[in-house]
Amino acid sequence: MTELIHEDDAGEDAGKAAGNAADGKEKIVDFIRQEQYPRLLAEAQPNEKCLPCLLCEPVCPTGAIKVTFNKTREDYGPLRSGIKGNIAADSEKCNLCGRCARFCKAFLLLDRDATERAKDPRNLKPYEQLLVDEELCDYCGLCVPLCPEEAIAVEGEPLPVKLLEGANGGAAEDKKYFEKDSETGFKGNIEVDRDLCIGCGKCAQICPYEAMDIKKPFEGEIRLIEKNLVRCDPLGCQACFNVCPAKCWYVDERGKAAPVKDQCIFCGACEKACPVSAIQVERSDVRHTEIKETPWAEEWKQAISAIKTGERLRPDVSGAVSPPEIERQPMPAPEKPKIDEQLLRLVDEALEPLEGLLSKAKVRQILEKEPPEEASRKIVQRLQKEKEKKSGSR
């Protein structure tokens, strides 16, 4: 739905297609990527404020965000032994960004329960707590400049690496030097898959540094229709929950389904899915690429207008001519098959021993779950036991 392509991608694809044709290969054209076709625009773009950290990656409903770092504590040598010291993370300052946990194994981020997170998208916080395992810490101090909130304090023997040479003035100055060292510094990279991003804005909401710029594919409003909402049963239905690409629905204090409006992309899927017509979505604008002057440009404009207004132009079919009805010869009545009374009697005699068995739940379970050959073998065994019982009783 939100195919995001650079303008030069279309030219690149066209060049590849032409090269394939020249080589005698079958020409494959991805029409979605052709520049003459307009596309919806949905985007989450990190800006210059991005550190990056790990808060946005787990909250993305489509898995479009990937955060990587170039260094870990192991890149600066093995854990030193015999070092005494102290380390503490201030829970009041820490925003659980996760940079320290990605850098060093001594830090452990406790994830929030995934079920609880899914139940209430109003609370996007992906982590519960930051723990420090001092058995995995040699008090090197490299984590201190990584923390954007200056929440980590370390007492011990600093690790003598170029990373900290020349740093003076405390944690803030250490941080500046640590970040600007291109060769030995700890650097992060954030990538947003434009093909997966739907522009819901959850990453921007969880970011404590306003480091993500969002472009939604639609602008509009979503509202609940109160007179129909009385029939809403979110525990039994959940149609809006299941169809929403942004996963922005939750059960409110009244026990009814409700959306987080700031996370809604106004796609309208929930409105179509609601069996009690309790949802209304109105789109005021559509963000898309330029509509090229092509023979079908007017149709594209009409289609985009229909997204906003919900009204579609219907073709004029008043002059349509219906084909004449084809005369069909009546089918002859089916002949009643002749019944062989002797064969019917033999079938009844063969099925008679099974009637008692088929009334038992265990035998029906064998027929339903066992492979045919195994089921046949077990039923034959039971028939033989029934015969033995009958013959013994006589």
User: Domain residues for 59?
Assistant: 41-69+190-215
pLDDT of residue 24: 53
CA–CA separation, 279 and 261 (whole Å): 12
Residues 280 and 194 in one domain: no
Is residue 271 in some structural domain?
Answer: yes
CA–CA separation, 269 and 226 (whole Å): 19
Answer yes or no: do 247 and 275 share one domain: yes
The amino acid at 294: T
Say if residue 98 is in the same domain as residue 128: yes
Q: Is residue 16 part of a domain?
A: no
200's tokens = 């819901």
- 302 to each of 102, 293, 299, 315, 318, how far by Cα in Å? 49, 14, 5, 13, 21
Domain count, the chain: 4
According to the model, what pLDDT value does residue 105 have?
95
CA 79 to each of CA 60, 134, 160, 318: distance values in angstroms, whole numbers, following the listed order: 34, 12, 13, 83
Strands (DSSP E) found in 271-363? 279-286
Let me know whether 177 and 82 are in one domain: yes
Work out the burial of residue 97: count CB atoms within 10 Å of its CB; fewer than 13 is exposed, 13-18 middle, 19 or more buried.
buried
Residues linked to residue 155 through DSSP beta bridges, in sequence order: 86
Predicted confidence at residue 386, as pLDDT, reads: 81
Residue 162 lies inside a defined structural domain of this protein: yes
Token code pair at residue 284: 């005021």
Q: Are residues 47 and 153 in the same domain?
A: no
SS3 109: strand
| pLDDT reported for residue 1 | 36
CA distance 40 to 195: 11
Domain termination residue (choose one: 186, 202, 234)? 186
Q: How far apart are the first and last CA of the chain?
A: 76
Q: Which of 134, 167, 186 is the last residue of a domain?
A: 186
- Within-domain flag for 2: no
> What is the sign of the dihedral through the CA atoms of 311, 313, 316 and 322?
negative
Q: What is the pLDDT, as a whole number, of residue 185?
A: 75
Residue 53 lies in a domain: yes
pTM, rounded to two decimals: 0.67
- Clarify whether residues 93 and 169 are in a common domain: yes
- Identify the CATH number of the domain in which residue 275 sits: 3.30.70.20
How far apart CA 146 and CA 64 sit, in angstroms, is 25
Per the omega criterion (within 30 degrees of 0), is the bond before 208 cis?
A: no
Same domain, 109 and 153: yes
Instruction: Spell out the per-residue pLDDT of the chain, length 394, in tens.
Output: 333 333 344 445 444 544 454 455 567 777 777 888 888 899 999 999 999 999 999 999 999 999 999 999 999 899 999 999 999 999 999 999 999 999 999 999 999 998 888 899 999 999 999 999 999 999 999 999 999 999 999 999 998 765 433 333 334 444 433 443 444 578 999 999 999 999 999 999 999 999 999 999 999 999 999 999 999 999 899 999 999 999 999 999 999 999 999 999 999 999 999 999 999 999 999 999 899 888 888 988 988 888 888 788 888 888 888 888 888 888 888 888 888 999 999 988 888 878 888 888 888 888 888 899 998 898 888 888 888 877 776 6
Gap between the Cα atoms of 283 and 266, Å rounded: 7
Clarify whether residues 168 and 80 are in a common domain: yes
At residue 93's C-alpha, the angle toward residues 92 and 95, to 5°, is 100
Length of the chain, in residues:
394
121 and 202 share a domain? Answer: no
In CATH, what number is assigned to the domain containing residue 170?
Answer: 3.30.70
Residues 89 and 147 in one domain: yes
Task: Say if 226 falls within a structural domain.
Answer: yes
Give a yes or no: residue 351 inside a domain: no
CA-CA distance, 62 to 272, in Å (whole number)?
21
Whole-number pLDDT of residue 182: 40
What is the per-residue pLDDT for 18?
47
- Give the pair of three-digit tokens for residue 315: 């073709």
Q: Does a structural domain hold residue 302?
A: no
Domain boundary among 186, 203, 233: 186
- Does residue 152 sit in the same domain as residue 225? no
Neighbours of 197 (CB within 10 A): 23
DSSP annotation of 98: -
CA dihedral 5, 126, 200, 208 (to 10 degrees): -90
Distance CA 149, CA 93 (A): 6
Comparing CA positions, the residue from 43, 117, 102, 106 lying closest to residue 67 is: 102
* Rounded CA separation 150/127 (Å): 19
172 and 254 inside one domain: no
